[in-house]
Structure 1
Amino acid sequence: MHELALNLQRMGHEPHVFTHDYRPFKPYSDDFPYHVHRLKGAIYLKSAHISLGPGSLLEANRIFKKIGFDITHIHSIYSPLAIAIANLSRGIRDVPVVATNHSLFSWRLSTIPIAYMLRYFLKRVDAFVAVSRRVAEDTRRLLNINGHPLYIVPNAVDPSFWRPPEAEERARARRMLGIPEDRFTVLAVGRFTKRKRIHVVPRIVAEAAKRAAKRLHVVIVGDGPLAELVKDEARKYSNYIDVKVLGFVERPQLREIYWATDVAIVPARLEAFSITALEAMACGVPVIGFKESGVSDVVADGITGFLVESDEEASARITEITLNSDLHARLSHNAPAHVASHFSWEKVARSILEIYRATIDAASGSDKRYLLYRLWRWIRG
């Protein structure tokens, strides 16, 4: 959202960001070049990132009335705050709404009631955006979209920041991580949860090391409830691989980690898109991910990395890249250009603007559901 807001601003628009009042992170340093509105809710659940209440919605309504927005863009179809703002926007202020879905729904018998609730509370959204074909299919099934546009617009990165390293930058990054210059290194970045499957990375890379008959290095970045399992798996395969497990890192340090590595793996089968894959490829790091996931919209198979169907195939591809320096060089060379051509913010922001304009045009004068309320609001002035 930060980079989207920056790019909209550069294109001459005035973005406002509504977000939670994240109390544990106070005091805030909101020195953003755009407007940020932090809404404090009476209900606050830190573990679920929920902050909502009548007071926060009254404040949001006051801001809507004062500013006079042209369109509202929510960036989650699962966030109570985003859903509330969407209904306030369309139902009370008569401002059209675009909703981007960045995630895949967790389909279980126990979640079916949630699906019906989402269908009901999101029925006033004018247009939907999915970040990948996989997410678009899931969104259609989840919301039973009928009569509303559903666009596919990928996430984006800034290729001027996420870029391949110079030789000295790569050497310095490897020294920082203690990686020998001749050691082939595999990277995984993500939250340590069952769904992200980061804990399977040591086993996958260890199998590749056995096939290649070479000791490999692994760098894992992230944190989460399965942190101890990740570390246990790293120790289990220490005869074949050297694993360095890092916690959360800031963007500049993460870029140096990409610079220090040779290939990245996205092991999640239920990955909606993968910003990690974009960042890695922009930095000249080939990516291995699963065909069934949203990574298939990001990685050009055989050109910027490989799409696989199993952990065993992932191991085989790592082995192949490890042993074939020409293949690795070709994939590394292709990856940044692919990102710049298809996933730059310049390209993606313009696509989003086109959706805004189409949504505003389609909604103009077409919504008759709230005529009585709008008449009452007009009488009140």
Structure 2
Amino acid sequence: MKILHVTDTYAPTVGGIEVLVHGLAARQAAAGHQVTVLTRTAGLTGRDTNGVRVVRDVHARRTLASESDTVHSHVSAISPLALRTAEFAATQEIPVVATVHSMWTGTWPLYRATATVRGWTDLPIQWAAVSEAASDPLRRALAGRSVLVLPNAVDTALWAPASAHPAADGTRTAHGSPGLAAETAPALVPREGGKGGPVTIVSVMRMTGRKRPLPLVSALRRMRAGLPADVDVRAVLVGDGHQLGEVRRRISRWGMQDWVEAPGALEHHEIRALYERADVFAAPATLESFGIAALEARAAGLAVVARAGTGVADFVSDGVEGLLAGSDAQMATQLGQLCTDHALRTRIKRYNAAVAPAYDWSDVLWRTAYAYEAAAQLAAGAHHTVVQGALDLARSRRDRYPAIAAREIEGDPA
């Protein structure tokens, strides 16, 4: 199959869409597809180390779309290239999947007006969103059109905790489901904070306003003020961005530098090493459509504290894989609870170490294959309603992907 991924932003820019498109395209290429990425982000062109062709000439969009069997557009808040290419391909009866990677929560009426003007609800486009939280405003914007949930993915084996040793009769269980009692998890034993070291809280994010690193610093300050003096806590805030300087200034101004550090950006292997010594992951963003960093931490066995109503809730159930907060104040309370409640922290960590989340590439690749089939049916004029439950029909496609998903994709996207 000739697959064209269209994304307005791509490497060398770093973000959720860029990581997802790179990983998906590379694994599709490894499965034998001819894969091209079209973007308007400047950078290297040609085939990358994974065999994916990268084109950065926006004027080539119609030619590339016409040569493709499927067009997969990746949409954020503002994505003119992705949307215009999707519109063009749909008018040419080329199967199109348009995945929305952002939260349209407060702006869906604007997108609904745009959809009416641009005719999105009349075009044979299979729409998708990366989480349940992101899908609801998209459905509103599209006046009830079918929307699939097509989540992001991580290599769960790559992120699995090396320090988690199975019991004599236990192995790491694949694909946990929300609501499964943590007590049912196999007895894996991760490193536990408070025994020979501090309880370590980690957050990995872009240091930008949308990700809310400054409210997290405030929440940590509030948390520390409510903890007994003898509770040993460490926090590491990883990431780069224009707010990093202010994060560091507030840590210093509030006298938190003895237990909070902001080292800047780290490589993946450095983050995995940090997770081996950590206990809790904090995700403070309120407009998080999915949360790849939180999923990586969940796969690494950390207890996750995140804001409720975000995409993180798709793989973190309150009290099972972590805790979900309705406010910054509640997040501070929950972080403190995990620092002091050894039994709760250990139970969540053991469950997360024992049960892999259902967001491995071997899961998401067959979901994507199904979305492409649904798009092909729409392009052929079969305007039936496609529902999430029908994904079961494509489960047989999973068999071709596990070996591909297990290999670590080489290098960064071109």
Q: Give the TM-score taking structure 2 as reference length.
A: 0.72
Q: Deviations over 1:329-378 (max 9, x none)?
A: 2211212454x3411111111111112112212321569xxxxxxxxxxx
Q: Deviations over 1:284-326 (max 9, x none)?
A: 1110011122222121211111011122222222222212333
The Cα shift of 1:38 comes to: 1.7
Contact residue 219 and residue 246 of structure 1 kept, 8 A = yes
Bigger Rg, structure 1 or 2: 1
Greater mean deviation of Cα atoms: 154-163 or 30-39: 30-39
Q: Deviations over 1:230-268 (max 9, x none)?
A: 122212332586221122233222222322321011111
Contact residue 291 and residue 311 of structure 2 kept, 8 A = yes
User: Does 2:34 align with 1:14?
Assistant: yes
Q: Deviations over 1:140-188 (max 9, x none)?
A: 23x3334x420112211111211113389xxxxx9xxxxx961221111
User: Does 2:149 align with 1:132?
Assistant: no
User: Does 2:252 align with 1:247?
Assistant: no
1:228 is matched with 245
User: Does 2:331 align with 1:314?
Assistant: yes
Task: Select the structure with the greater relative contact order (CA < 8 A; seq sep ≥ 6).
Answer: 2
Question: 2:75 is paired with a residue of what secondary structure?
Answer: coil
2:25 is matched with 5
**Distance in 2 between the 1:138 and 1:252 partners?**
36
**Distance in 1 between the 2:105 and 2:265 partners?**
25
Q: How does 1:139-150 map to 2 (within 5 A)?
A: 139-141=138-140, 143-146=141-144, 148-150=145-147
2:216 is matched with 201
Distance 1:231 1:118, change over 3 A: farther
1:364 is matched with 380
Q: How does 1:156-235 map to 2 (within 5 A)?
A: 156-166=153-163, 182-213=197-228, 214-235=231-252
- Provide structure 1 residue ranges, at least 5 long, that are not aligned to the other structure: 41-55, 169-173, 175-179, 368-381
Contact residue 206 and residue 241 of structure 1 kept, 8 A = no
Higher relative helix content: 1
Question: 1:20 is paired with a residue of what secondary structure?
Answer: coil
1:60 is matched with 61
Contact residue 300 and residue 353 of structure 2 kept, 8 A = yes
**Distance in 1 between the 2:246 and 2:124 partners?**
41
Q: Give the TM-score taking structure 1 as reference length.
A: 0.77
1:350 is matched with 366
Contact residue 203 and residue 236 of structure 2 kept, 8 A = yes
Q: Deviations over 1:172-210 (max 9, x none)?
A: xx9xxxxx9612211112122232211122222232223
**Distance in 2 between the 1:83 and 1:299 partners?**
31
Distance 1:3 1:336, change over 3 A: farther
Distance 1:195 1:364, change over 3 A: same
**Distance in 2 between the 1:229 and 1:12 partners?**
47
The Cα shift of 1:281 comes to: 0.8
Question: 1:353 is paired with a residue of what secondary structure?
Answer: helix
Amino acid at match of 1:154: P
Amino acid at match of 1:104: M
Question: 1:74 is paired with a residue of what secondary structure?
Answer: strand
- Which of 325, 330, 340 is the matching residue for 2:342? 325
Distance 1:308 1:360, change over 3 A: same
- Provide structure 2 residue ranges, at least 5 long, that are not aligned to the other structure: 1-20, 166-190, 384-414
The Cα shift of 1:71 comes to: 1.3
**Distance in 1 between the 2:119 and 2:242 partners?**
31
Contact residue 321 and residue 327 of structure 1 kept, 8 A = yes
For the aligned residues, what is the CA RMSD? 2.9
2:11 is matched with none
**Distance in 2 between the 1:267 and 1:332 partners?**
19
1:372 is matched with none
Distance 1:240 1:184, change over 3 A: farther
The Cα shift of 1:115 comes to: 5.6
The Cα shift of 1:10 comes to: 4.2
Distance 1:120 1:256, change over 3 A: farther
Contact residue 205 and residue 216 of structure 1 kept, 8 A = no
Question: 2:38 is paired with a residue of what secondary structure?
Answer: strand
**Distance in 1 between the 2:204 and 2:88 partners?**
37
Amino acid at match of 2:23: E
Contact residue 154 and residue 359 of structure 2 kept, 8 A = yes
Question: 1:98 is paired with a residue of what secondary structure?
Answer: strand
**Distance in 1 between the 2:240 and 2:196 partners?**
27
**Distance in 2 between the 1:153 and 1:11 partners?**
19
